């Protein structure tokens, strides 16, 4: 099928097998390798992207379901060579350790902040509850999201 969608604010039109997973389309067809595959079963959140404003596990979505959708990947956060406030906060708060979960964590947090620019700690923890991190106790991640919310600069 011919797919037409917007990825990181760029129109994409491409002939695709509609049954391939979105994560594979992003990584293999569009060379957007920031989205990571962890479990392949929607359990870890490493592959989280934003589709039409909502955080979604891209390993559970078929590319054929994305016709006319708007997708944001971790590569779409930075603008004009400048980190998104959320990315900046993750760096400043030391919320990145091995980094494997970071893209998915950022995308879940970004979806939250787009919907609710002033979340409580409980709302933050709920928003990232589908993202597993084996390196941290989530304290620095939650702090980074709170910092970004307090200093939005167009979050």
pLDDT in tens, 2-55: 999 999 999 999 999 999 999 999 999 999 999 999 999 999 999 999 999 999
Per-residue pLDDT reduced to its tens digit, 85-120: 999 999 999 999 899 999 999 999 999 999 999 999
Distance CA 21, CA 29 (A): 11
CATH number at residue 38: 3.10.20.30
Question: What CA–CA distance (Å, rounded) separates 6 from 143?
Answer: 31
Distances (CA, A) of 140 to 17, 18, 23, 105: 40, 39, 27, 12
In a domain, 34, yes or no: yes
Domains of the chain: total: 2
* Inside any domain, residue 155: no
């Amino acid at each position: 099928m011919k797919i037409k969608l917007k990825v990181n604010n760029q129109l994409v039109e491409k002939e695709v097998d509609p049954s391939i997973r979105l994560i594979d389309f992003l990584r293999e067809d569009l060379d957007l390798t920031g989205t990571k595959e962890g479990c392949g079963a929607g359990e870890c959140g490493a592959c989280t992207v934003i589709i039409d404003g909502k955080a979604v596990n891209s390993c559970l979505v078929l590319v054929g379901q994305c016709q006319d959708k708007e997708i944001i990947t971790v590569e779409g956060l930075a603008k004009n060579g400048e980190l998104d406030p959320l990315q900046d906060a993750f760096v400043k708060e030391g919320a990145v350790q091995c980094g494997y979960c970071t893209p998915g964590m950022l995308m879940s947090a970004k979806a939250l902040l787009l919907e609710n620019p002033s979340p409580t700690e409980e709302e933050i923890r709920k928003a990232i509850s589908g993202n597993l991190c084996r390196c941290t106790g989530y304290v620095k991640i939650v702090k980074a999201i709170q910092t970004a919310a307090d200093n939005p600069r167009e979050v």
